[in-house]
Amino acid sequence: MKTKVGMVGVGIMGSHMCANLVKAGFDVHAFDLDATALARARETGAIPSADLRTLAARSAGVVISLPDAPALRAVCCGDAGLISHLPKGAVVCDTSTVDPASARDMAALARAAGASFLDCPVSGGPPGAQAATLTIMVGGAADALERARPVLQAIGRKIVHCGDSGNGQAAKLVNQALVAAHTVAALEALLVGRKAGLDLDTLFSILQTSSGRSWMLENHLNTHALAGNYQPGFALDLMFKDLRLFVETATQLQSPVLIGATALQIYNAARAAGNGKLDQTVVARELERMSGATLGVLSKS
């Protein structure tokens, strides 16, 4: 008999997770407010659920993929929410990126209902979600993680237990802060080089084999900002949200984040310019405007 797993949120990331859970042999019941997204999930072999109550009652475990903490609370809390209708012993794996405090609140709510809640934010983007190679940062009880491990292994390659509830989210925010910092620093440095008269291809070639190289430069900037392509791999609105959560968390912890706070304002400027739905590397446009230089694009050769 197949293990029944719920999948709440089948958007850009969740749709790939849903498909991989089906491929792994789980009996997947999906829910999303977007009827089109739910129809696509059905095409991959998932069974649409009419509401969260129905999905919860059918599931030994649930994977959640949502954009922010308000959406997570709306799904989990209240009489119509997910947690109050879960079977005893069920485990919720939340792959959304939210603040650590929200993760701890959901974990406490689940414990009171006789279930478990793991914060399981992921890194790897849509390509990693599609290939089931995500890195998964887990906060919560170790025994709950072991019960949920077969589910998580269907959607990711590296699963790291970070400690108590909220710690998975804290680890993800650290990662996101570095993504933003590396993005802004690379673009800023390249613009100085361009103003000095250097060719973009020459600069990129040098950095690929020098100590200034970075994963973001070689695996994302090269296919987006430096290719003139701002179709979202990861939307600027989402990066702004994650970076804001990082700065807020650091402030609560009384830990200075001078670079993170500065990067946040650059992302905020790009968001104010109406670029929130575009790829997060669209911050290049704001940096170009401030520097009075143009990056150009890498040659296709």
The two beta strands, 134-139 and 27-31, are unpaired
Query: Average pLDDT, stretch 147-164?
Result: 98
Domain-wise residue ranges, the chain: 4-164, 170-291
User: Length of the chain, please?
Assistant: 301
Print the SS3 string covering 249-277. Answer: HHHHCCCCCHHHHHHHHHHHHHHHCCCCC
CA–CA separation, 158 vs 137, rounded Å?
A: 8
Given this model, what pLDDT does residue 2 score? 72
Q: What is the pLDDT of residues 245-272, one digit of tens each?
A: 999 999 999 999 999 999 999 999 999 9
pLDDT digits (tens, 9 = 90+) for 84-143: 999 999 999 999 999 999 999 999 999 999 999 999 999 999 999 999 999 999 999 999
Is the distance from CB of 242 to CB of 271 less than 8 angstroms?
Answer: no
Tell me phi and psi for residue 94, to 5 degrees.
-95, 110
Residue 301's pLDDT band, with cuts at 50, 70 and 90, is very low
Closest to 64 in 3D by CA, of 25, 102, 101, 36: 102
pLDDT computed for residue 112 by the predictor? 96
**pLDDT digits 0-9 by tens, 17-65:** 999 999 999 999 999 999 999 999 999 999 999 999 999 998 999 999 9
Residue corresponding to tokens 């983007």 = 125
Superfamily of domain 170-291: N-(1-d-carboxylethyl)-l-norvaline Dehydrogenase; domain 2 (1.10.1040.10)
DSSP for 42-70 reads HHTT-EE-SSHHHHHHT-SEEEE--SSHH
Question: What pLDDT, on the 0 to 100 scale, is given for residue 243?
Answer: 98
The fraction of the chain above a pLDDT of 70, given in percent, is 99
| Residue 184 pLDDT class (50, 70, 90 cuts) | very high
Residue 58: its pLDDT value, please?
87
67: phi then psi, degrees, rounded to nearest 5: -75, -25
| pLDDT value, residue 227 | 96
Global confidence as pTM: 0.94
CATH numeric code, 4-164: 3.40.50.720
- How would residue 229 be classed by pLDDT, with cut points 50, 70 and 90? very high
Residue among 158, 134, 119, 136 at smallest CA distance from 20: 134
Strand 134-139 and strand 156-163: pairing? parallel
CA separation for the pair 268, 4 (Å, rounded): 42
Residues of the chain above pLDDT 90, percent:
97
Catalytic residues: 172
